[in-house]
Amino acid sequence: MKTTYTFTVLRYVHDITTGEFANVGVALYAPEAKYLSAICTPRYGRLSRIFLDINGDHFRSLTRFIQARFEEQAEKLRGELPLEGRPKSVMEIAQAILPPDDSSLQWSDPGGGICEDPSKTLEALYVRMVQRYEERQQLPSREDEEIWKEFKKELESRHVVAHLQAKRIVAKDYDYEFQHARQNEVWHMYEPVSLDLIQAESILDKANRWLGRIVSLKDSPDKFSLHMLLGEPRDEKLKGTYVKAQNILHKMPVEHEFIKEHEAAQFSSKLAEEIAKHEAQEAAEKK
């Protein structure tokens, strides 16, 4: 006999600012069949390859806790007689076990359908949503700081880093502190931005966040230009998304330029020349 069901996917969200995630479990609830279950993977090898610094023991304990709570709720459900008062959706149960907050484990929006065997449907969803990615090799995403390290090597070799300082740009409704800046008539900001993420959606979301940030800073009395030190995706399938992200960033309403990683040496040399020229001019003006 066919029965309705709802399901939700358990996601490991490594960084809520980028939204990067990996599916690690599935929960399914079919009230008419008195069926509730979840499958959560205790394996974190794939997550370590993607995110590098995951705490494996903590991850295993969390997924085991979640699966155990679902098993407890399923036992209670099987012993209940009336349909009245039962949860109508898997989200009521899932969020009672793991409430929505800023932690690394998050529930997806629910899905649903009609099936004949909820158990087989759960297994199929788990294979499709989680297991199929277990053995897929993925390049880890890179943080902004990793991109800065690549540029910093070239900048340090030309004694440029010592000329950079932090600068907070304050606008009417928003302020933001850039970590690498120098002043020459206007403020020049040198900002590392990693677009080497594992999902196309995350790349575009990050580009849009930067666009919104610069729009909010545009009315600052401190005029500035933005030099984005871009880390591009190493996954060839994301190159088209990388182009779209740059198109979004080009809408920033301030003077800006993009410097790619392979341009780091040329960029550093040019910046060193500009700094030396500026210092020479200042010295001549003081005489």
pLDDT at position 175: 96
213-238 pLDDT, tens per residue? 999 999 999 999 999 999 999 988 89
Same domain? 52 vs 17: yes
The secondary structure of residue 263, as a DSSP letter, is G
Looking at every residue in the chain, the average pLDDT score rounds to 87
Domain boundary (101, 133, 165) is at 133
Tokens of 222: 């401190």
Is the model more confident about 218 or about 42?
218
The answer, yes or no, to whether residue 41 has pLDDT greater than 90, is no
Q: Identify whether residues 9 and 53 lie together within a single domain.
A: yes
> What digits encode the pLDDT tens for the residues 252-277?
999 999 999 999 999 999 999 999 88
84: pLDDT strictly greater than 60: no
Residues 244, 159, single domain; the answer is: yes
What pTM, to 2 d.p., does this model score? Answer: 0.56
Enclosing H/E stretch for 230: strand 224-231
Mark which of 74, 100, 133 sits at the end of a domain.
Answer: 133
- Counting the structural domains of the chain, the total is 2
| Domain coverage including residue 74 | 3-133
Contact 54, 105 (CB under 8 A): no
Is 60 exceeded by the pLDDT of residue 102? yes
**Whether residue 119 is found in the same domain as residue 176:** no
d(CA 216, CA 276): 33
Confidence of residue 50 (pLDDT cuts 50, 70, 90): low
Q: What is the pLDDT of residue 210?
A: 97
Show which of 133, 166, 196 is a domain's final residue: 133
Residues 272/275/281/284 CA torsion (nearest 10 deg): -80
- Residue 278: predicted pLDDT: 78
Give pLDDT, residue 202. 87
pLDDT above 80 (res 56): no
CATH number at residue 178: 3.40.1350
